[in-house]
Amino acid sequence: MKKLIARTALVAAVSLAALSAHAKDIVDTAVAAGSFKTLATALQAAGLVDTLKGPGPFTVFAPTDEAFAKIPKAQLDALLADKAKLTAVLTYHVVPGKVMAADVKAGAVKTVQGAAINVSTTGGVKVNDANVVKTDITADNGVIHVIDTVILPPM
């Protein structure tokens, strides 16, 4: 009987955790993942947090902290200090609508920034030169796909 009660409590706790995990917007979901600290800092610096907490839906190709670490420190610091350029780079990682991995098609896809990203599906999914390393992290206002490189819009 104790095992049954403990198992029921565990199932309830897991179910509650699953519900609360999906009751987060894109920003909260990324922050909770723990591997997007630089992205969160950049979103704050660009003033885009409220936008990505909005109703959406959005599809975000989110670079990890390791992806941002590929950018030389001086260049990253300059980008973080230039709000207009930072906003352009960050919105280049966002596509309107909720595009799940199963719905991805190769070709040019227009971003919120205005320029198109090139999606390829040969040998794994790529966005420009970035590999998609994890897909379908759902949030209540869209979906996150994790990429291993920061992609830059044409300037």
Distance, CA of 93 to CA of 111 (rounded, Å): 7
Distance, CA of 144 to CA of 1 (rounded, Å): 42
Segment 99-116 shows an average pLDDT of 95
Distance, CA of 99 to CA of 119 (rounded, Å): 12
pLDDT digits (tens, 9 = 90+) for 58-98: 999 999 999 999 999 999 999 999 999 999 999 999 999 99
Mean pLDDT of the chain: 86
Report whether 80 contacts 41 (CB < 8 A): yes
Maximum CA pair distance of the chain? 66
Report whether 128 contacts 118 (CB < 8 A): yes
pLDDT above 50: residue 17: no
Structural domains in the chain plus CATH codes: 24-147 (2.30.180.10)
Of 56, 76, 38, nearest to 152 by C-alpha is 76
Segment 115-122 shows an average pLDDT of 95
Q: Is the pTM of this model over 0.85?
A: no
Rg, C-alpha atoms of the chain = 17
Three-state secondary structure readout of 39-100:
HHHHHHHHCCHHHHCCCCCEEEEEECHHHHHCCCHHHHHHHHHCHHHHHHHHHCCEEECCCC
pLDDT of residue 123: 86
